[in-house]
A and B are shown apart, each in its own frame.
Chain A
Amino acid sequence: MTTTATRPAAAAPVPADLRRSALPLRRRLTDGFSKSLMGLALLIALIPLGLVIYHVTSRGIAVISWDFLIEDIPNSARRIGGGMGPAVAGTLVITGAAAAMAIPLGVLGSIYLNEYGKQNALARLIRTMSDVMTGVPSVVMGLFIYVSYVLVVKEQSGFAAALALGCLMLPVIIRSSEEMLRLVPDELRQASAALGARRWKTTVSVVLPAAISGIVSGVMLAIARAAGETAPVVLVAGTVFASNWSLEGANTTLAAQIFKNAGEPFPAAQERAWGAALTLMVIVLLFTVASRLISSRFAIKER
């Protein structure tokens, strides 16, 4: 017994040195290097974002004024002055009409996927195809509306552009709304069914209200995306120089005007393009921010 007591403490196993400085230099360097590369990647992405916002704001703010937002577009690109009134009107009318078509269709489609179809073959096919449709280039959607609508009625119009934008929004709304419907707990549906409500009644008065803020948030994002689409509008809407608040007849949007004026060599046209770009950015950002605010409120409610 005494022998163990007198054994020297030095014989106990040395605890491993777990400090960072004990690592071999090479491993430490590789670690630090890879971490700084990740930081650098972030920086590489954020610099262009900062530059775009800086250039659009600084060059747009010089052009923009109340008059710029309501005045007609000069019919010669080289003329100084004028405004983007028709483009603002067109953007609001066309995007609004597209949303009015795509939102009901998209939400109903998502209800089918989540409440009826679930995992059956048709629902799975529709799910895959709406993912694919999200990837269809906007220019193709413009061509599609041209051959299937403009060629039939023989007139380029704001309505045609709204159709094209609606087709672009549809799959986005379907998929985002479906995600939101999936978050609604099944207990709510069962409770409603237990009270004797029909399936459609349950869906309309229980499931939809529970998911509505998430759905609205997704819809806002889709609208923001659609407002910035250019190619379909260029292909099917024609162009105007005076405001056209109706869906009939040719129309134009901010995005289409930016595209048109950016390619012009005249400073006056380029200035109008910067002004239109700032206006468009503000509209898009408003919708994006609103979408985030709404979805963050939803997150709190869920908790």
Chain B
Amino acid sequence: MTVLDKSAQLTRKDRGRHADRLFWALCVSAGFAVLVILALILVTMVKQAYPAFSAEFFTSSTWIPNDPDGDGPAKPVYGTLAFLYGTLVVSAIAVIVAVPVSVGIALFLTELAPRRIRTAIVTLIDLLAAVPSVVFGLWGILVVAPAMVPVYQWIHDVLGGVPLLGSLFGEPRSSGRSFMTAGLILAIMIVPIITSIAREVFATVPDSDKQAAWALGATRWEMIKGAVLPHSFGGVVGAVILGLGRAMGETIAVALVIGSSVQITANLFESGYALPAIIVDQWGESTGVFTAALIGMGVVLFVITVLVNLVARFVVRRAEIRMRGAAA
């Protein structure tokens, strides 16, 4: 029997071991950075915004950020209800417009389009996602808003007399900067997100389900209705919620086209305000409690978007688990 070469020691403990631990520690701390940043966001911002939090912060729609009469009896009022309302209205419009469009595109891409066209369209949709939001805002304020005024006027003339719809489609602003314009611009911006997630969801529909539908003599639409849609409903809901989250946090485009007036009105053609928009608009001129109020609105926005995102992930994950179960 030959003696093993002692130089081939496979359990060397001295070198490399420390490097291994160090590298592991580096990676873990990088991973922790995410958790730390998220926690810091909440803690530092709440601390800074604390002076502004009061009952009226959440219940009043009056926004008088600067002391109206110096040392007089009147005090500044920081009520954020109008901004919350604007954010909700604008993102609701965006989601209502964007969802059918995105689901349509996703279906077109997964079920209808030939392979070569598919890559081209995916590239175009990616391009739409790549356009910076401030460019959409610039285009919205200088091109879209003025161009939409006659359209709004026409809709108002046609539907203005109808009882319930009439209050939604009231007299339009002459500048065209309104809830509706902001909602439409936002819709364009969230279409790529919803489309890409919906596409992933549709792609997970098992082929056997589709083939079963074909074998029963279904037309393409009947196949989609019977096999694709029921299977992917949960996932699409998740995609929509994610789009909603993005719409609520979108700042610059909305700040430019919403028209910047603090009011709560049912008229979608009137100008309004949104939570993120007021933060960038009035940031430069704010001091003291005024700044705290703006940061406070940031906290509200943060909490809302985090909740919306968590719910969306939860829905998507549950849908995925269900789908995997069905495919097995």
Interface majority SS on A: helix, strand, loop or mixed?
helix
> Is A191 interfacial (CB 8 A cutoff)?
no
Number of chain B interface residues as a range? 35 or more
Is the C-beta of A105 less than 8 angstroms from some C-beta in chain B?
yes
Known contacts A116-B24, A262-B142, A292-B126, then 4 further A-B pairs from the complex at CB < 8 Å, ordered by chain A residue: A35-B220, A109-B30, A122-B31, A126-B32
Given A198-B19, A228-B134, residue A46 in contact with residue B124 (CB < 8 A): yes
- For residues 88 through 139 of chain B, which have their beta carbon under 8 Å from a beta carbon of chain A? 100-105, 107-108, 112, 121, 123-128, 130-139
Cβ A129 vs Cβ B20 within 8 A? no
Could you mark each residue 225-239 of chain A with 1 if its beta carbon is under 8 Å from any beta carbon of chain B, else 0? 101111100110000
Stretch at the interface among B36-44, B155-163, B261-269, B318-326: B36-44
- A196 contacts across to B, CB distance below 8 A: 10
A130-B123 contact in complex given A147-B44, A147-B48, C-beta closer than 8 Å: no
- Kindly list chain A residues whose C-beta atoms are within 8 Å of the C-beta of B242: 135
User: B270 on the interface (CB 8 Å rule)?
Assistant: no
Whether the pair A255, B134 counts as a contact (CB closer than 8 A) is: yes
Query: B249's contact among A27, A111, A128, A140, by CB below 8 Å, is which?
Result: A140
Contacts known (A55-B143, A148-B40); A285 close to B27, Cβ less than 8 A: no
With an 8 A cutoff between CB atoms, is B28 at the interface?
yes
- Is the pair A132, B33 in contact by a Cβ cutoff of 8 Å? no
Whether B130 lies near A284 (C-beta < 8 A) is yes
Residues of A within 8 A of B37 (CB): 133, 144, 167, 170
Q: Which of B63-71, B76-84, B204-212, B301-309 contacts A (4 or more CB under 8 A)?
A: B301-309
State whether the Cβ of B173 lies closer than 8 Å to any Cβ in chain A: no
Q: State which of B23, B38, B40, B245 has its C-beta within 8 Å of the C-beta of A199.
A: B23
Chain A residues whose C-beta falls within 8 Å of the C-beta of B237 in the assembled complex: none
- Known contacts A139-B276, A198-B19, A42 near B27 by CB under 8 Å: no
Q: Verify B31–A112 contact, CB threshold 8 A.
A: yes
Binds B, one of A2-10, A72-80, A210-218, A273-281: A273-281
Mark A23-42 against chain B: 1 for CB-CB distance below 8 A, else 0. Answer: 10001101100110111111
Q: Is the CB of A123 within 8 A of B221?
A: no
Q: Are A109 and B27 in contact (CB under 8 A)?
A: yes
Contact B301 A49 (CB under 8 A): no
B280 at the interface (CB under 8 A from A): yes
In the complex, residue of chain B having the shortest beta-carbon distance to the beta carbon of A123: B31
A151 to B128, CA, bound (A): 36
How many angstroms between the C-alpha atoms of A135 and B301 in the bound complex? 11
16 contacts between A and B (CB under 8 A): A41-B105, A105-B30, A108-B26, A116-B24, A129-B34, A132-B309, A132-B310, A135-B305, A137-B248, A148-B40, A230-B133, A255-B134, A259-B137, A274-B142, A277-B138, A284-B132
- B307 — nearest CB in chain A belongs to which residue? A132
Whether the pair A111, B27 counts as a contact (CB closer than 8 A) is yes
Given that A45-B188, A262-B256 are known contacts, is A31 also in contact with B219, CB under 8 Å in the complex? yes
Closest residue of chain A to B309 (Cβ to Cβ) is A135
The yes or no answer to A158 lying at the interface (CB within 8 A) is: no
Q: Would A148 and B44 count as touching, CB distance under 8 A?
A: yes
**CB-CB < 8 A to B239: which residues of A?**
none
What separation, in Å, do the CA atoms of A280 and B133 have in the docked complex? 11
Min Cβ gap B319→A in Å is 15
Q: Which residues of A contact B315 (CB under 8 A)?
A: none
Chain A positions 122-168 with a Cβ under 8 Å from a chain B Cβ: 122-123, 125-126, 128-141, 143-144, 146-148, 151, 167
Task: Name A's B-contacting residues (CB within 8 A).
Answer: 18, 23, 27-28, 30-31, 34-35, 37-42, 44-46, 48-49, 51-52, 55-56, 104-109, 111-113, 115-117, 122-123, 125-126, 128-141, 143-144, 146-148, 151, 167, 170-171, 174, 196, 198-201, 203-204, 224-225, 227-231, 234-235, 255, 258-259, 262-263, 270, 273-274, 277, 280-281, 284-285, 288, 292
B283 in the interface (beta carbon within 8 A): yes
Q: Chain A residues near B188: list those with CB within 8 A.
A: 45, 48-49
When distances are taken between beta carbons in the complex, the residues of chain B under 8 Å from A116 are 24, 27-28
Contacts of B251 in A (CB 8 A): 137-139, 230-231
Q: Across the interface, name the chain A residue whose C-beta is closest to B17.
A: A198
Question: How far apart are A295's CB and chain B's nearest CB, in angstroms?
Answer: 11
Q: Which residues of B contact A224 (CB under 8 A)?
A: 130
A220 to chain B, nearest CB (A): 11
Asked if B280 contacts A140 (CB within 8 A), the reply is no
Q: Which chain A residues lie closer than 8 Å to B125 at the CB level?
A: 45
Give min CB distance, A115 to chain B, whole Å. 7
Q: In the complex, which of the residues A52, A143, A151, A230 contacts B298, with contact meaning CB atoms closer than 8 Å? A: A143
Contact of A41 among B23, B101, B256 (CB under 8 A): B101
